[in-house]
Amino acid sequence: MPRTRPAGPAPATAPQNQGILMGRIVVITTGGTIAARPRGHGHASAAPGREVVAAVDIPPAVQVEVLDLCVLDSPLITTAHQVRLLHTIHDLFARRDVEGIVVTHGTDTLEETALLADLHHHDRRPVVFTGAQRPPGEERPDGPGNLRDALLTASAVSGVGTLVVFGGKIYPARDTVKSHTLALDAFAHPAGPVGEVRADTVLLHARPVRPSPLPTPSWTLPRRPLRVDMVMHHCDADPALLRAAVEEGAQGVVLVATGAGNATPRFAEAVAEATGRGVLVALTTRVPGGPVAELYTNGGAVDLVRSGAVPAGTLRAGQTRAAVLAALLATDEPGERARLLHRATASSAPLAA
């Protein structure tokens, strides 16, 4: 017989070897490859949530409720969709019968939405993101298996914030990025997965360290959509695009620098100009691994940070943008935005359970 526990928040601690636990898991669907259908010469999101879930061999001890948020390819996801998702999660956790939440999402921007959810995650019950690399109808589609693993995980863990479950592996939302365009094992984390799903067993090997959560942002978005642009440094780069982003009304800019966070003196000048106008600037790197570090001057991270850029730690470009967005949604005060961004980007790694 499967173990059961009363509805409501999960226990404060979860054992490393998690069995299946009775509970209602709400699946919030947003589209993506897991919901794709043939269209023209390719595929596009089209299937409603009930069709996505119908393809899954749902574990008998898991009760599933489906909630359609949108049906979009993930490159089309906007801040408005993400804020709506945050509020949907917040409202669902007000219900005592909800054991956990699974979000199906396209893989292209999953890492951004997952981190944003994690930065605002205030409950011990989990939010688990998953999706697919192969559309339904192709040989051996991976969506149904990923969703089943996500359901199992959402019903078995607690106190871990937002997770990404993909290819049988469990990752913390923070620092987990899409690492391959086509492979079924599409996501990676610098420290590796924090757990795995084997058949009907969820194994949690480590627990993510997370900053204290930000409050759920207001439903009311500015009339003019929040603009957060990304600018990459490269050989021969100049800050023209950074300045253009500011002139176009960007409230936040992510500078994707080289090395440990380095650019040129002209970029440092442009960063100082932008932050002087109240624009929130974050500094990350185009290098796949390692943190931003204040090592070099002459336009390096030392100068960029002194000019007002906030170093993003180990977060890469897309997740750095999500952290900037979270800070912008939290307050209108420039100094407080920078403080919240520092908090959101502080480096952390999974710790052993």
Residue-level pLDDT, tens digit, the chain, 353 residues: 333 333 333 333 333 444 444 569 999 999 999 999 999 889 999 999 999 999 999 988 899 999 999 999 999 999 999 999 999 999 999 999 999 999 999 999 999 999 999 999 999 999 999 999 999 988 899 999 999 999 999 999 999 999 999 999 999 999 999 999 999 999 999 999 999 999 889 999 999 989 899 988 887 766 677 999 999 999 999 999 999 999 999 999 999 999 999 999 999 999 999 999 999 999 999 999 999 999 999 999 999 999 999 999 999 999 999 999 999 999 989 999 999 999 999 866 666 55
Residue 74 in marked binding region? yes
104 is in an annotated binding site: no
Q: What is the pLDDT of residue 225?
A: 78
What amino acid positions are annotated as catalytic residues?
33, 107
Give yes or no for a contact between 261 and 300, defined as CB atoms under 8 angstroms apart: yes
Which pLDDT does position 65 carry in this prediction?
A: 97
Domain spans of the chain, in order of start: 17-207, 228-345
Query: What class is the 17-207 domain?
Result: alpha beta
Task: Indicate the pTM of the whole model.
Answer: 0.91
- Do 17-207 and 228-345 have matching folds? yes
CATH of region 228-345: 3.40.50.40
Nearest to 277 by CA among 303, 312, 242: 242
Residue 29 annotated as lining a ligand binding site: no
